[in-house]
Structure 1
Amino acid sequence: MDVESPESEQLLVEEYKNQGNSCYKQGMYNEAIAWYTKGIEIDSTNVFLYNNRSAAYLMINKPLDAYKDASRSISLDSQNVKSILRCLKCCLILGDLNEAKRLCSMVRQLEPTNMEFSSLVVTH
């Protein structure tokens, strides 16, 4: 059995994330999800992989899967406003207004002048 060193595992995770990002930019969302998932299989604590996979799920109209990944990302880093905003979008799509209110409070506390947050609140 070939055991990877932590450094080589992190390089592999970074490569998977980059491959996923490349697919995402090309509109290949299912492929992006597959790459992010490969990275998560190696590093299940990587906030960016969950957050990116959440974005890809939103692009293929899977808001519940997107919500789960955004929530996981927040559980790993409660200060990550990008994850909170993505989770908020999912809640609005899914109609979970109580959770949306809670997330709004988090964003207001962390970044009260966040423009993406302002536009989300105005459009919904």
Structure 2
Amino acid sequence: MHVLTGADLAGVAEEKQLSPAVHVVYQGARVEEARSDGKAARFAQTWLTVVSVRNTKALKAGDAARGGAGRLAHQVLLALMGFKAPSAAGPLVPVSGPAARYSGGHQYLPLAFSAEVVVKQPT
């Protein structure tokens, strides 16, 4: 399995993608709370992992690719749910993400997570 970033995907044709893979893509941050003096804020960062599996068995229906993506997605969920990065104020929490997509033997299964980050000016 490969773990890749959005930059690793830029300009790569679908048939040349590494598979199976998990792509980790930063989706932005939302301000949850900010001090009125602007010197501290709490953000909710969203991270998207996209499980990508290619399997051409039952190409039209996509059953084999979906099954492989489902098994890998389960492993990703177990690894990331509750994980706390050193720079985060709280653990990764699953959130709603985009829909899954199937294309010519490639199954893409996105899993979204949110992490709380607190930023403060030094005193």
> Radius of gyration: which is bigger?
2
Structure of greater relative contact order (alpha carbons < 8 Å, 6+ residues apart): 2
Give the TM-score taking structure 2 as reference length: 0.27
